[in-house]
Amino acid sequence: MRKKVIAGNWKMNKNRKEAKELIEALKPIAQDKTCGVIICVPFTNLETALTLTDGTNIKVGAENVHFEKSGAFTGEISADMLTEMGVEYVIVGHSERRQYFGETDITVNKRLLAGLEAGLKVILCVGETLEEREQGITEEIVAKQVKIALQGTCEKCIKNVIIAYEPVWAIGTGKTATAEQAEEVCAFIRKTIEGLFNKEVADGITIQYGGSMNEKNCAELLSKEDIDGGLIGGASLVAEKFGVLLEEASKY
Ligand code: PEP
């Protein structure tokens, strides 16, 4: 059985003082939980997060990474810079990056490959817009995003990839996909992975749901067979709320 993994995505929130307070509050809450616990924090909080979580079961991730190793890319951070610090995870392809920063399937693929090559574990976000769902093309869109993002990966390195199914219409909107809708697409993603690799890889890969998942609706979502955890925005900013998700995910 796959272990559930809960990852927080802080987005552009929390200054250093607030980050310290949140992590200190999270540590005792996370301590006895058996699910995977990851916090993805702004670049400016990585050092703080790494120091404060040292020796705990909380893993630290970045929210983005550039695909080149070094060079004239003002404002960007390379995968080697992250691993050198001790960062273990990175999110790529978040819908906010696709929507506001011109991220495409091709650049998502480049970032994913750069992350894996540097030794990072990558949380790959995919998901359809409301318009695409209404047009009935959710599966086509998600399959395309998954297939392009994973181009050039191998059976061994795919073990370092988590896929987060995040319907764009559910992110930060308070509109959660129903557990059935989320399960349907997560199961479809697993089938897509089976087609790209094999059943063993598909059975082993962690597929999270993300999109207004919170302390109130997590139980039903996490009870679904193909939903192996969550990528959590808003509810990851409050220790007690995040704690409920960790508690629920640790029941499996
Ligand atoms: C996210 O940022 O990936 C996310 C799912 O946000 P929220 O939980 O706030 O919808």
3-class DSSP assignment, residue 158: helix
Element (H, E) at 86: none
pLDDT, tens digit, 9 for 90 and up, residues 187-232? 999 999 999 999 999 999 999 999 999 999 999 999 999 999 999 9
- Choosing from 63, 66, 94, 128, the catalytic residue is 94
Query: 153 falls in which pLDDT band (50, 70, 90)?
Result: very high
pLDDT one-digit tens code per residue, 74-116: 999 999 999 999 999 999 999 999 999 999 999 999 999 999 9
Q: Residue 57: name the closest of 23, 22, 91, 84 by CA.
A: 23
d(CA 210, CA 214): 10
Whether 94 is catalytic: yes
Q: Is residue 24 exposed (0-12), middle (13-18) or buried (19+ Cβ within 10 Å)?
A: exposed
104, exposed or middle or buried, with CB in 10 Å at 0-12, 13-18, 19+? Answer: exposed
Q: Which two tokens stand for residue 87?
A: 């960062």
Ligand 1: distance of its center to the CA of 231 in Å?
A: 7
Q: Which pLDDT value is given to residue 177?
A: 87
Distance (angstroms) between ligand 1 centre and the Cα of 113 equals 24
Q: How far is the CA of 57 from the centre of ligand 1 (A)?
A: 22
Annotated catalytic residue, options 96, 103, 166, 183? 166
pLDDT tens profile 10-38: 999 999 999 999 999 999 999 999 999 99
Residue with tokens 């990528």: 231
| pLDDT given for residue 173 in this prediction | 85
Q: Give the rounded distance of the alpha carbon of 66 from its chain centre.
A: 17
Whether 166 is catalytic? yes
Residues at CB less than 6 angstroms from ligand 1: 9, 11, 166, 171-172, 210-213, 231-234
pLDDT for 50:
98
pLDDT value of residue 176: 84
The mean pLDDT value for 125-153 works out to 97
Query: Cα dist. 241→114, 166, 235, 236 in Å?
Result: 33, 19, 6, 7
